[in-house]
Structure 1
Amino acid sequence: MTEADLASTLPGMLPRLWAFALRISVNRHDAEDLVLRACVRALEHTHQLRPGTAPLGWMFSIVQSTWINEQRARNMRSRGSADWDHEFLETVAGPLAATPEQHAMDRQIVSAVQALPEAQRVVMLLVGVEGLSYNEAAEALGVPIDTIMSRLSRARRAIGALFKD
């Protein structure tokens, strides 16, 4: 894939990349900056995109690695200091809940996913929300498929335990 090919396909990927960036960064401005930096990085490194690699999966991996690098650079001690914008996220994630009860349940689920350790949360977002296969998520994150399966299993158990009753 050439830089021109990637440049022509990037606009179609932006909504999904931005939603993913918002979910991992939990801040609108950070998500915007993150997607911008990831796109620039991708365009600068188009030559590294191997034939047969899904461009969207490759872009998810760039967004993820850019976020990790930013966290390291900021020397963040905890994620608890970031504000989670529930109302804005709901407009990105899908239509508004049909009932107040469903709306409340959606907020609980978003909070439960946010509370997951980052490695589990990212896998849950890539597989559960973005619809990547286990193989695609493993490739995007640069980890073995067993790691994806393990993280996803732990994340599902943790969220399931919160809603057991």
Structure 2
Amino acid sequence: MKQQLETVIPMLRRFAYSLTGNHHDADDLLQSTVERILTKELPDNVDLTKWSFRVCRNLWIDNHRSQKVRQDATQKPELQQHDIVDGEKIMTNQLTVEQVQKALAQLPEEQKSILTLIAVEDLSYKEVAAMLDIPVGTVMSRLSRARNTMVQWFDDHDMRIIA
């Protein structure tokens, strides 16, 4: 299991980063995921890679929900977490990591995770469906909506996607 976990960790880190949007939160999420994997017993007949991604996603969802509840409960703007937006950067005919992250931030979490698993981790629709325990058609539908939203975001911000 240790050797399998060593090969999964880089993929989990990229996935965690795609969910959180920054390295510090991604590292925290990765640490929580690895801790959970090591302390909980692996279910029988389960692929460690798929199970690890599911654990990571579920931890992120739990954290995201609890953070939202805490923010709503405070009702004090100075106590709420706000994303710091760097000034507008004019980039002609180039996609930057920052622009892709902004476009990804517009996606609902279920679309973002599917797009990341397929585009970044290079998993098949079938693998993603099994990992998230949803039908392949749902994966295809959410991926299509995510792609359309991304294209629309780039169009709205007068950016061109260079092939």
> TM class by shorter-chain length?
0.7 to 0.9
Structure with bigger helix share is: 1
Deviations 1:97-125 (A, max 9, x none): xxx756x4124333212221111111110
Aligned equivalent of 2:49, options 49, 56, 63: 56
Contact 2:117 2:128 (C-alpha < 8 Å) held by counterparts:
yes
| Alignment deviations for residues 37-94 of structure 1 (CA, whole Å, 9 cap, x no partner) | 111211233431525x3x222211111011111122223569x934589xxxxxxxxx
**CA pair 81-139 structure 1, distance change in 2 beyond 3 A:** farther
Mind listing any 5+ residue stretches in structure 2 that lack a counterpart?
73-80
Secondary structure of the equivalent of 1:63? helix
Equivalences for 1:110-129 in 2 at 5 Å?
A: 110-129=101-120
2:125 aligns with one of 128, 134, 137? 134
- Give the conservation status (yes or no) of the 8 Å contact 2:125–2:139: yes
Q: How many residues align?
A: 142
**CA distance in structure 1 between the aligned counterparts of 2:42 and 2:134, rounded to whole angstroms:** 22
The equivalent of 1:105 in structure 2 is: 95
Task: Indicate the percent of aligned positions where both proteins have the same amino acid.
Answer: 32
TM-score, structure 2 normalization: 0.74
CA distance in 2, matches of 1:84, 1:150: 31
Preserved CA contact (<8 Å) 1:34 1:67: yes
Does 1:30 find its partner at 2:25? Answer: yes
In the alignment, which of 114, 122, 134 is matched to residue 143 of structure 1? 134
Distance 1:74 1:27 in 2: 16
Return the index of the structure with the highest Cα Rg. Answer: 2
- 2:8 alignment counterpart: 13
Contact 1:27 1:82 in 2 (8 A): no
Which range moved further: 69-78 or 147-156? 69-78
Normalized against structure 1, the TM-score is what?
Answer: 0.73
Relative distance call for 1:120 and 1:136 in structure 2 (3 A) is: same
